[in-house]
Amino acid sequence: MNIKPLAAVLCLALLAGCAHQAPRNPLATWVPSPNHDERRPVIIVLHYTEQDSVEQSLLTLRTRNSGGPVSSHYLVGDDGGIYQLVADGHRAWHAGGGSWGTITDLNSASIGIEIDNDGVEDFSEAQVDALLRLLDDLTTRLRIPRSQVIGHSDLAPSRKIDPGTRFPWRRLAEAGFGIWPADDAPAAPEGFDPLQALRLLGYPLDQPEATIRAFRMRFRGDAGSVLDAEDHRILHALTRPDGAGLLKPTSLQ
């Protein structure tokens, strides 16, 4: 029996096994516990590419642009094609600075989905259908709450406007993703505090006017910077503790 080839095979097997082990701190004694899990994202952030084609966006998301390297986990094409650029368990560079509730490092806590759209065109039916399939997969497989789907402008209202006023948020809510006010939700009660409601939803309030614009882009389809009675009604519906003010998914109505 030739010992040398066998020894070489054993060494390669050991090296292969070590390559798949999690990094260990050399300062500590390794005493492994089975009580652990993979780190998982808890929120999904939607963007539009503001570019002219999937090909252009794939290049941008895999190289470097004027602001430095950027990436996302997924890109959804206008024809409904779905592309994955970064593994779900890895940190893509899509959110930048901002916050949502107590989360201040959105890149570490989220899945980023870019949508092929130049910022002024409507989102295609094939594209929205593909996005809904992807959201269903991600929320089911990664156990992300279906309500935790937000726009880039929600977490960074002073910097971003995507996915824009044309994005079909109600369509997503009817399919069970994100949130939307029920049509029959009543007016807000006297003394209702809309800024506190924005904070409860997750919006940052360091620049209230920008936050109001982001809220209205998502729930009113415009870029107004002043809250009116309808905004109060929507905010009250979205933040009711019993959830009775929310639009129910179509399959549940």
List, by residue number, the catalytic residues: 114
How far is 135 from 177, CA to CA, in rounded Å? 8
Three-state DSSP state, 65? strand
Handedness of CA 48, 50, 53, 58 (dihedral sign): negative
At residue 202, what is the residue type? Answer: G
Q: CB burial class (10 A; 0-12, 13-18, 19+) of residue 158? A: middle
Three-state DSSP state, 44? strand
| Angle, CA of 240, 242 and 247, to the nearest 5° | 70
Dmax over Cα atoms in the chain, in whole Å?
89
How far is 47 from 49, CA to CA, in rounded Å? 6
